[in-house]
């Protein structure tokens, strides 16, 4: 064989080796850059979810700060954080467009974010609408819960997305490591003739190093965000502790004031009631019918004033008292309340239909007060109804247990339903049905203390139904 043929064969072999090495290196490098791209994307997703969680916490903290202080700074912080929440959510959705399961989780996250931001908007608007009036924190607590409307929290939905990304991060880190090993093996296999390929591969390694630096910078950014979040949370906890102490002192002062008002108001009322009774009993013969009517009106006014004081004190105690939940039989409790009403007015003939076995996890003392007011209202507003009937039961609506008390009494006009649970707002005149106008306000506060909801449906002259729920 001629030397030229050998050279050609060697050159051909060298070219084939170079070509093979080039193909192997190119394949390995392509795999490395692909895996690094996926790894970088995963870290970007985690970075944006961290920013989303930070903005959510910042929005929640800003609303709480705004409620507590009324400072416009917190309101501006809330609006800025709210915009950041949806911007980060859009980024996460864009980066995970290749994953159907992540898109489904993000769609669910959007619903939870919308619900949470809706409650925060409501709390913020409530504080803005009551710029000068004090707002009781207990009234706003249902709006600031992490579970608005029930269901899973925003944090839980974010954690589901992050869990999948962390799993992908492990897999892609391993794939990147394997791809990097393949690159080095390919480089070891390259001959001295593959200088150009080595130069090209070196350039690719530089690019890979830059990608690693970018990943490291991203991790450092996440760490900085975590440190900042820790600092903000520490400051917020200190402020909350300070406000909690102030609130405890205010509650003590309010309790002392309530006792003083009760004692100071009852003393002159007892005097008026006692002397008017003595006047009626001892001097009735010296008074004409008009005079005796005046005295009767005085005594009725005194008794109504006493009832209003009792109702206001009960409303105050309900607001301040602790909620101690336990398993209770609402059917048995409702029947007991009805039996007490029937014993106090034995001439009334009224049918009571309780659904058996209705259970709930709630404070028995507070729920009894709520049932006394609701069943008491049904008893009162069926007083002019023949074949009067009161029903108690429960139903499940959208996975939530809803309890109801229904009657076939006087009912009310639904256009005034918004006034129903406000203190001193009555939909019927005192001549038609006696009452203080505080009972349903007390019921509403009890239900809110249980993180529940209450509403009513009625038609004038065709009875009313009161619905309420109790958070588990």
DSSP 129-181: HTSSS---HHHHGGGG-SSTTSS--HHHHHHHHHHHHHHHHHHHHHHHHHHHH
Average pLDDT, the chain: 77
- Tens-digit pLDDT profile for residues 89-116: 888 889 888 888 888 888 888 888 877 7
- 240 in the same domain as 107: yes
Q: Confidence class of residue 307 from pLDDT cuts 50, 70 and 90?
A: low
pLDDT at 141 over 80: no
DSSP string computed for 330-351: HHHHHHHHHHHHHHH-TT---E
The larger pLDDT score, comparing residue 427 to residue 86, is at 86
CATH at residue 359: 3.30.565.10
Residue 472 corresponds to which tokens in the numbers above? 């588990």
Residue pLDDT, tens place only, 5-55: 655 665 676 677 667 767 776 777 777 778 778 888 888 888 888 888 888
Q: What is the C-alpha to C-alpha distance for residues 305 and 270, in angstroms, rounded to an integer?
A: 11
Within this chain, do residues 457 and 346 fall inside the same structural domain, yes or no?
Answer: yes
Residue 35 vs residues 99, 170, 175: alpha-carbon distances, Å: 16, 12, 6
DSSP 8-state secondary structure symbol assigned to residue 283: S
More confident residue, 140 or 110: 110
Q: Give, in order, the Cα–Cα distances in Å from 439 to each of 68, 339, 351, 375.
A: 28, 19, 23, 11
Domain stops at, among 228, 249, 270: 249
At residue 248 the predicted structure's pLDDT band, cuts being 50, 70 and 90, is low
Q: Within this chain, do residues 96 and 12 fall inside the same structural domain, yes or no?
A: yes
pLDDT for res 432 = 47
Domain membership of residue 138 as a residue range: 3-249
- pLDDT score of 354: 92
Residue 59 — pLDDT band, cuts 50, 70, 90?
Answer: confident
Are 355 and 237 in a shared domain? no
Per the domain annotation, does 311 fall within a domain?
no
pLDDT band for position 4 (cuts 50, 70, 90)? low
**Range with the largest mean pLDDT of 28-32, 233-237, 305-309:** 233-237
Tokens of 184: 């080095």
Q: What is the pLDDT of residue 405?
A: 93
| Torsional class of 417: left (φ above 0), alpha (ψ -120 to 50), beta (otherwise) | alpha
pLDDT at 429 over 70: no
According to the model, what pLDDT value does residue 149 have?
59
In a domain, 31, yes or no: yes
Q: Is residue 383 part of a domain?
A: yes
pLDDT at 353: 92
Number of domains composing the chain: 2
Residue 181 and residue 35 share a domain: yes
pLDDT value, residue 75: 81
In 3D, which of 355, 373, 367, 371 has the Cα closest to residue 327?
Answer: 367
What per-residue confidence (pLDDT) applies to 261?
Answer: 63
43 and 168 assigned to the same domain: yes
Q: Rounded CA gap, 116 and 156, in Å?
A: 13
Is the pLDDT reported for residue 332 higher than 90? yes
Residues 331 and 228 in one domain: no
Which range of 145-149, 441-445, 465-469 scores highest in mean pLDDT? It is: 465-469
Domain end marker among 249, 275, 307: 249
- Residue 330 covered by a domain: yes
In a domain, 292, yes or no: no
In a domain? residue 254? no
Give pLDDT tens digits for 170-189. Answer: 888 888 888 778 777 876 77
pLDDT band at 433 (very low <50, low <70, confident <90, very high): very low
Phi first, then psi, for residue 213 (nearest 5°) are: -65, -40
In a shared domain, residues 334 and 241: no
Q: Is residue 259 part of a domain?
A: no
Quick check: 297 pLDDT over 70? yes
- Are 176 and 165 within 8 A, CB to CB? no
Q: Is the pLDDT of residue 338 over 70?
A: yes
Q: Given pLDDT bands bounded at 50, 70 and 90, which one contains residue 151?
A: low
Based on the domain organization, do 78 and 172 belong to the same domain?
yes
Residue 461's alpha-carbon distances to 9, 229, 352, 416, 426, in angstroms, are: 108, 58, 19, 15, 16
pLDDT category at 286 given cuts 50, 70, 90 is confident
Q: How far apart are CA 197 and CA 20, in angstroms?
A: 11
Are both 238 and 345 inside the same structural domain?
Answer: no
Is residue 435 pLDDT above 60, yes or no?
no
Residue where a domain terminates, one of 249, 269, 295: 249
Query: In this structure, what token pair is assigned to residue 134?
Result: 């004090």
Domain assignment present for 210: yes
Return phi, psi of residue 465, to 5°.
Answer: -130, 125
């Amino acid at each position: 064989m001629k030397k030229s043929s050998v050279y050609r064969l060697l050159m051909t072999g060298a070219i084939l080796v170079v070509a093979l090495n080039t193909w192997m290196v190119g394949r390995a490098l392509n795999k490395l850059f692909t895996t690094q791209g996926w790894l970088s994307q995963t870290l970007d997703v985690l970075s944006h979810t961290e920013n989303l969680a930070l903005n959510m916490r910042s929005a929640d903290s800003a609303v709480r700060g705004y409620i507590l202080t009324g400072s416009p700074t917190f309101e501006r912080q809330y609006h800025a954080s709210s915009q950041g929440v949806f911007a980060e959510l859009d980024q996460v959705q864009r980066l995970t467009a290749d994953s159907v399961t992540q898109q489904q989780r993000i769609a669910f996250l959007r619903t939870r974010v919308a619900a949470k931001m809706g409650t925060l908007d409501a709390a913020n608007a409530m504080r803005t609408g009551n710029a000068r009036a004090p707002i009781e924190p207990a009234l706003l607590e249902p709006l600031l819960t992490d579970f608005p409307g029930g269901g899973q929290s925003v944090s839980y939905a974010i954690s589901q997305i992050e869990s999948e990304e962390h799993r992908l991060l492990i897999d892609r880190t391993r794939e990147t490591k394997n791809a990097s090993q393949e690159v080095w093996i390919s480089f070891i296999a390259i001959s001295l003739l593959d200088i150009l390929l080595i130069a090209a591969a070196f350039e690719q390694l530089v690019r890979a190093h830059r990608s690693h630096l970018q990943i490291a910078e991203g991790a450092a950014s996440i760490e900085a965000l975590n440190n900042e979040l820790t600092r903000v949370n520490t400051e917020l906890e200190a402020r909350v502790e300070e406000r909690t102490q102030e609130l405890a002192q205010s509650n003590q002062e309010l309790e002392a004031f309530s006792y003083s008002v009760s004692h100071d108001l009852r003393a002159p009322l007892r005097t008026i009631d006692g002397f008017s009774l003595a006047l009626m009993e001892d001097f009735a013969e010296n008074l004409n019918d008009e005079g005796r009517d005046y005295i009767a009106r005085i005594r009725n006014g005194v008794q109504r004033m006493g009832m209003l004081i009792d109702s206001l004190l009960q409303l105050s105690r309900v607001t301040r008292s602790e909620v101690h939940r336990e398993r209770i039989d609402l059917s048995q409790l409702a029947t007991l309340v009805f039996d007490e009403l029937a014993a106090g007015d034995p001439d009334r003939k009224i049918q009571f239909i309780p659904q058996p076995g209705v259970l709930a996890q709630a404070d028995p003392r507070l729920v009894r007060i709520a049932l006394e007011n609701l069943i008491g209202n049904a008893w009162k507003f069926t007083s002019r109804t023949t074949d009067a009937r009161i029903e108690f039961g429960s139903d499940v609506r959208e996975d939530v247990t809803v309890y109801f008390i229904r009657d076939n009494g006087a009912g009310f006009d639904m256009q005034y339903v918004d006034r129903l649970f406000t203190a001193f707002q009555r939909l019927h005149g005192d001549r038609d049905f006696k009452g203080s106008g505080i009972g349903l306000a007390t019921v509403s506060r009890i239900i809110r203390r249980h993180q529940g909801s209450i509403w009513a449906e009625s038609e004038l002259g065709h009875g009313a139904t009161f619905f309420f729920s109790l958070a588990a």
